[in-house]
Structures are given as C-alpha cells and as structure tokens.
Amino acid sequence: MFACPSSSQLDDFFSDSFYQKLTATYGDEAKQRAEKWRDVLIDNQSDSDWSKINKVNHFFNKSITYQDDILLWGKKDYWASPVETIGRGKGDCEDFAIAKYFTLTSLGVDENKLRLMYVRQLTVNQPHMVLIYFENPKDVPFVLDNFNPKVLLASKRRDLKPIYSFNAQGLWMAKAKGLGRKVKNSRGVSAWNNLVQRIEGGKMQTFASVN
C-alpha cells in the first residue's frame, strides 16, 4: 500500500481496471467491500491513531469472515495480501492482522507502533495471531483481534499468551511488558518478508485464483 497516500494515489490504486479485475475474480460483493475499504482510507486520514485503530479493527472484523487456509486457499499456510482478503471476504487470523497492519500504515500510523504477534489462545489452546499497537515503546500494547471485537490492553487479554511479535523492523520475543528481546529469525518472519516483497514488487493487486 502507501504511506499516508494522497487522493491521487488512492484514485490510481482503486482504478476502474482494479474494480473490473476484482469483480471478475471474486464477484460483485468483493467490489462493495473494496469500495468500503477505500472509504476507510479516505475518510480517516486526519483522525487520531486511537480512532484509526478502532475504525480499522471494526471494519475488518465486520467485513471479513474467518476461514482457515485449507478451506480458503487449498494450502496449509497462505498469507494473503489485503486485496486478496478483501476479494474473498474471508481469511484466517493472520490475514486479519496483515490487512489491518497495511491499512493502518496507509493511514499514517507509524509502523514502529505496530506489530503482528503470535500468541496462544488459551480458551481453545490454539496458536493465533493478532495485531498490537504501542502508543509508546515501554507501554503495554493494545490488541486488535478478529475474535474479540474490542481493542483492549494486552494486560486485559488474559486469554492470550504472547509468544513473539514482529514487523518490518525485526522480531522480538515476547515478555509481559515492553518490547521484549530482539532476535534474528523465524519462520513467521520469513513468511512476512515474502509477503512484503510480493507487495512491494508491484503485486499488491495480485489476485490469487479462486478454488
């Protein structure tokens, strides 16, 4: 996406050809979701970070239905671009977190305040991914989750056990408060880097085929 895109950049991205290809690949409902996504990007550029994270969290939780990768993509683990998630109208926890991350950075939220975090969902004892937001580096972060619609402090989410977090700047092992210990590599970060390269290589509008 773009870092705080201008109106002309958004117009270029959400072009007639974009909508035509989106509709041809995913159907008319995909165009409706994309138009609402564009509205989120246009209408909230000047809002506070707090307003942006709540509106983006609400938009994706309302617009996208959870479905695992095997059923959705026919693959055990597939990290969809935001366009693919909007197109299908479905995604797993990673797809929710990724779409929220890129939408928020496109709205001008500092990427250093955002991380994708792997956690264990203790209620069902399953691995899970959420997006976290730090107002300040030493603060307890807020959690944006596709299962819990409320944006809450991580200290209030006793159902989540943090494992590690990452963004474009690197990987951190989780601890109760603060940033945690930065480490070098992980399979999750490798998948993230591949997705970023795919998007930055001009494939943000890549439309994965429908099964």
Mean pLDDT of the residues in the chain:
83
% helix, strand, coil for the chain, step of 5: 45, 20, 35
Which structure tokens are listed for 18? 């974009």
Amino acid at 66: Y
Residue 200 has pLDDT above 50, yes or no: yes
Report the chain's terminal Cα–Cα distance, integer Å. Answer: 26
Q: Are 144 and 157 in contact (CB under 8 A)?
A: no
Q: pTM of the full predicted structure?
A: 0.83
HSE-CB of 50 using CA atoms within 13 angstroms: 4
Which tens digits make up the pLDDT trace of 64-104?
999 999 999 999 888 898 999 999 999 999 999 999 999 99
Least confident of 41-45, 167-171, 173-177: 173-177
Instruction: For residue 211, name the pLDDT band (cuts at 50, 70, 90).
Output: very low
Which tens digits make up the pLDDT trace of 41-74?
999 999 999 999 999 999 999 999 999 999 999 9
pLDDT of residue 10: 82
Amino acid at 111: E
pLDDT of residue 210: 39
Residue percentage of the chain with pLDDT more than 70:
75
pLDDT of residue 12: 83
CA distance 136 to 57: 20
Strands 142-144, 90-91: pairing kind: unpaired
pLDDT of residue 175: 47
Cβ contacts of 27 within 8 Å, gap of 6 or more:
none
Q: 183 vs 117, which has greater pLDDT?
A: 117
Domains of the chain: 7-203 (3.10.620.30)
Q: 193 vs 33, which has greater pLDDT?
A: 33
pLDDT of residue 11: 79
